Amino acid sequence: MTGYDVYQGSSLIGSTASTSYTVTSLTPSTTYSFSVRAKDAAGNVSSSSNTVSVTTLAGSTVSYCSASANNTADERIGNVKFGSINNTSTGTAGYENFTSVSTNVTRGTAYAISVTPVWTSTVYSEAYAVYIDYNGDGDFTDSGELAWSKTGSTTSPATGSITIPSTATIGSTRMRVMMQYSSVPSSSCGTYTYGQVEDYTLNIVSSGRNETGIKDLITDIKLYPNPVKDILYISNTKAEDYKIFDMGGKLINSGKLERGSVNVSNLIKGAYLIQIGETSKRFIKN
Ligand SMILES: [Ca+2]
Ligand SMILES: [Ca+2]
């Protein structure tokens, strides 16, 4: 016997001379079936083995504690602006899930935050807290993750500034915007009486600059062709891992470069962001 042909479903995907085989470029949270056929030096191929069914892991999905106000009758969050987010809301639930609304933010960069309250009639004093899960571990309790707070006032909109730490983890993460009557919410989790909570998604990207702010030419990657149809070549990088995000910041694909290239033929047409090592570049898929 000389080895095995490996099948994914009914497709031959490769062969191996040993009893192990590594399959790459699978999609998270997806079930695949695999089987093998043994072959010998004379070209004889066995019937198919039994089929093994495997499901890939969910990837970087994390879950967050719930947070909500119990009463929005008198006041709620009417608008949030941060980066490219400019989200006006009219819902009266104590928690509104806007995690489909996202913005790219760059490490080491300051952004204005603006929260506009809506009062039903009486103008009450409102206080605010904005939490960002900078290290992407599913909580808002690490150092600095209370990104901004403002004590009670009737100022509208309430505004401030948030600087994305240079140590923030690259990728998608959660931003939680909390408004409470009179006093700053004491926790990123749980319930309080008057106000509203809204969650958003941030896509933290690298500046492509090193920690001293000096342009690092070695990591200034080049993409070609761009626009691209099938194979995107990346030059001027020593990194091997890549991530592809859509312009909404959603992770679309990730893996390792193959000879400095990525096969993007499966992407639908549009603009994407590819992150190689610490650098991100925009490209167009045709
Ligand atoms: Ca709202
Ligand atoms: Ca965290």
6 C-alpha to ligand 2 centroid (Å): 41
Ligand nearest to the CA of 89: 1
The model's pTM is: 0.57
Average pLDDT over residues 94-105: 96
Average pLDDT over residues 74-93: 97
Q: Kindly tell me if the per-residue pLDDT of 216 is higher than 60.
A: no
Residue 181, both tokens: 């009557």
Ligand nearest to the CA of 199: 1
91 C-alpha to ligand 1 centroid (Å): 6
28 C-alpha to ligand 2 centroid (Å): 23
pLDDT band at 35 (very low <50, low <70, confident <90, very high): very high
Residue 10, both tokens: 């009914």
Q: Kindly tell me if the per-residue pLDDT of 225 is higher than 70.
A: yes
Rounded distance, CA 59 to CA 123, Å?
Answer: 45
142 C-alpha to ligand 2 centroid (Å): 5
Task: Note whether 176 and 130 are within 8 A (CB).
Answer: yes
